[in-house]
Amino acid sequence: MENMVNIFLFGKKYTVPDNLTIMNAMEYAGYQLVRGCGCRNGFCGACATIYRIKGERELKACLACQTKVEDNMYIATLPFFPLAKQVYDIEKVQTNEAVMMQLYPEIYACVGCNACTKACTQELNVMQYIAYAQRGDFEKCAEESFDCVMCGVCSSRCPAGISHPQVAMLARRINGKYLAPGCGHLDTRVQEIKDGTFKELIEALMAKPIDEMKELYNTREIEK
């Protein structure tokens, strides 16, 4: 017999097995997740959730896909958070702090409250990677923000209105295009694909039934 716990989804009480994630518990309770969560054929970060345990004052943020239910957990999922996304041509952007001053000047209004870091569902040091972005240290910003899933919870708590995930995305793009060392093996393979070296192989793969494709993928040789 499974151990059961009581949870509250949007104020309504449900009794669910205690070994479920919040996402699985919502489905167990009859909810259909149609917001495009990454593990439901959508994008990662869409299941941003806030919750509070009965009797505790702290309001916590998490991703519903990776957080297990607790007894007397009050849960509400967050809608898409409208992050400010600037338009730019990555082929023309500057690779120093001037690009941040131009596109995301609000990062210089950071008050150092660290609410972004405390709210991060991935436990990233958000305030630190924003500090790197302020100084134009895009390599460190990219590394510190690498596990960001763009859920926007950090920005929802920011008094300065910073769009932290978009700042980090710009830093990672600059780092990947201009700063990170090139990969000769990858460049060679991409050129071979452009030259049509694998055209017959690709066409043969595309003609195979989907079950055979899955089997080939599951039994592929993985390079160490």
Q: Does the residue 56 lie in any domain?
A: yes
Interval 13-24 mean pLDDT: 96
Per-residue pLDDT of 191-203, as tens digits, reads 999 999 999 999 9
Q: Are residues 174 and 191 in the same domain?
A: no
Residue 92 in domain: no
Domain range spanning residue 120? 98-179
Residues 70 and 102 placed together within one structural domain of the fold: no
Contact 162, 108 (CB under 8 A): no
Tokens 């449900």 belong to 14
Q: Do 172 and 207 belong together in one domain?
A: no
CB of 205 closer than 8 Å to CB of 213: yes
The values of phi and psi at residue 40, to 5°, are -125, 45
CATH number of the CATH domain containing 54: 3.10.20.740
Query: Is residue 214 one of the residues assigned to a domain?
Result: yes
**Could you tell me if 161 and 190 lie in one domain?**
no
Q: Give the mean pLDDT of the chain.
A: 92
Q: Both ends of the chain: CA-CA distance in Å? A: 43
Residues 68 and 19 sit within 8 Å (Cβ to Cβ): yes
Per-residue pLDDT reduced to its tens digit, 73-124: 999 988 777 788 999 999 999 999 999 999 999 999 999 999 999 999 999 9
Top pLDDT among 81 and 59 is at: 59
CA angle (70, 75, 80) in 5-degree steps: 135
User: What is the pLDDT, as a whole number, of residue 44?
Assistant: 81
Give the model's pLDDT for residue 35: 60
Q: Tell me whether residue 89 is in a domain.
A: no
HSE-CB at 40 with a 13 A cutoff on CA atoms is 14
Residue 216 pLDDT more than 60? yes
> pLDDT, tens digit, for every residue of 22-58?
999 999 999 887 666 667 766 788 889 999 999 999 9
Number of domains in the chain: 3
Does 93 map to a domain?
Answer: no
* Residue 182 vs residue 30, higher pLDDT: 30
Backbone angles phi, psi at 143, to 5 degrees: -65, -45
- Asked if the model's pLDDT at residue 172 lies above 80, the reply is yes
Q: Which helix (H) or strand (E) holds 16?
A: strand 12-17
Q: Tokens 């699985």 identify what position?
A: 24
User: The sheet that has 48-53: what strands, in order across it?
Assistant: 12-17, 4-9, 73-77, 48-53, 60-63
| CA–CA distance, 184 with 197 (Å, rounded to integer) | 17
Is the pTM higher than 0.85?
Answer: no
* Sequence letter at residue 39: C
pLDDT confidence bin for 213, thresholds 50/70/90: very high
Q: Which residue bears the tokens 């989804």?
A: 9
Same domain, 174 and 200: no
